[in-house]
Amino acid sequence: MAVGIKLKKELESIKGIGKITNAMQLVAMAKLKKSSGLILNSKNYFTEVYKVFNDIIQSAERSKYQAQNNFEPKKTAWLIINSSIGLCGAYNININKLVSKDIKEHDLVIPVGQKAVKKYKKFTHLTSLENVPHDFNYTMASSISLQLLEAYNDNKIDCIKVAYTKFINNATFEPTVLQLLPIVKLPKAKNQNPSSAVMEFEPSAEEVLTNTVPMYLNSLVLSTILESQVSEHASRRMAMDNATKNADDLTEKLSLEYNRKRQAAITQEISEIIAGSSGQDK
């Protein structure tokens, strides 16, 4: 009895896909658990680095690393972080939408991840990183940050921005564009006591800023790439979880449809047998 052969093949195919997406979900969950622990432990350090540099900027009068009033960049270097593989939902799409609003044809790009390398192949690359290793560290980040800083110091660019996915928790991550250089001077809090916020720098805030910019830039490059890695795993876990649930729902629906057709075919065969038997008795 050949009933719903096409439907049965489709059902088996969807079951197979469901097993694959479930396995990918478990792998992404394991990677997320491992990498989220690393970024959560490091986040306090990166936050403090950013806070210290804001304090230095507040004290600096004028520096090439400090954004002046009404600053409008003429040529920007973009560090754009995508994934190296797909099946991670809208992770890459959301980042690229943000970048497309501001990027210009003459801007320079450092694409991170194979998807970014392919997406921005028409732009001039300072360098690129197709695959981010799982043990990406401070030393590896320096090869990127030093090229960015060299281009900035040589006046090839006047702005450095990074487009990455900010990790908030396992279910929440936001595509973000952050300006690394020149550093924007944040406004002072209205309720801040001026006498308690005074900081003195020796030799000067401008000189301290110049000497410590490489550490600042490298720390933020490392932080944004690590956060993007964690966000990628979280996005893939959610995408594969949704895909597995959809496969299960579709399997249930097709199984019901297949069983109905099979039951209808059996009922028809029984009816034909009974009708044939009744005809012979006559």
Helix (H, G, I), strand (E, B) or coil at 173: strand
Q: What Rg, from alpha-carbon coordinates, does the chain have?
A: 29
pLDDT of residue 195: 46
Q: Sketch out the chain's domains with CATH numbers.
A: 34-187+205-240 (3.40.1380.10)
Contact indicator for 218, 142 with CB cutoff of 8 Å: yes
193: Cβ contacts below 8 Å, ≥ 6 apart? none
* Across 251-260, average pLDDT: 86
Q: 187: pLDDT confidence band, cut at 50, 70 and 90?
A: low
Question: Residue 103: what pLDDT?
Answer: 95
Q: Which of 121-135, 203-217, 225-239 has the lowest mean pLDDT?
A: 203-217
pLDDT of 193 over the 80 cut: no
Contact criterion met (CB below 8 Å) for 145 and 181: no
Q: How far does CA 151 lie from the centroid of its chain?
A: 26
Residues in contact with 172: Cβ distance below 8 Å, sequence separation at least 6, in sequence order: none
The token pair that represents 40 in the structure block: 């959560």
Angle of CA points 164, 167, 171, to nearest 5°: 125
Mean pLDDT along residues 178-201 = 66
Model pLDDT, residue 282: 54
* Average pLDDT of span 91-110: 95
Q: How far is CA 263 from CA 2, 10, 216, 222, 256, in A?
A: 12, 19, 70, 61, 10
Residues 6+ apart with CB under 8 A from 205: 56, 57, 59, 60, 61
Q: At which residue do the structure tokens 């970048």 appear?
A: 99
Q: Mean per-residue pLDDT for 82-98? A: 92
Say whether pLDDT at 51 is over 60: yes
Report the pLDDT value the prediction gives residue 138, as an integer from 0 to 100. 87
What pLDDT sits at residue 196? 46
Does the pLDDT at position 191 exceed 60?
no
SS3 265: helix
Q: Omega of the bond prior to 182 within 30 degrees of 0, cis?
A: yes
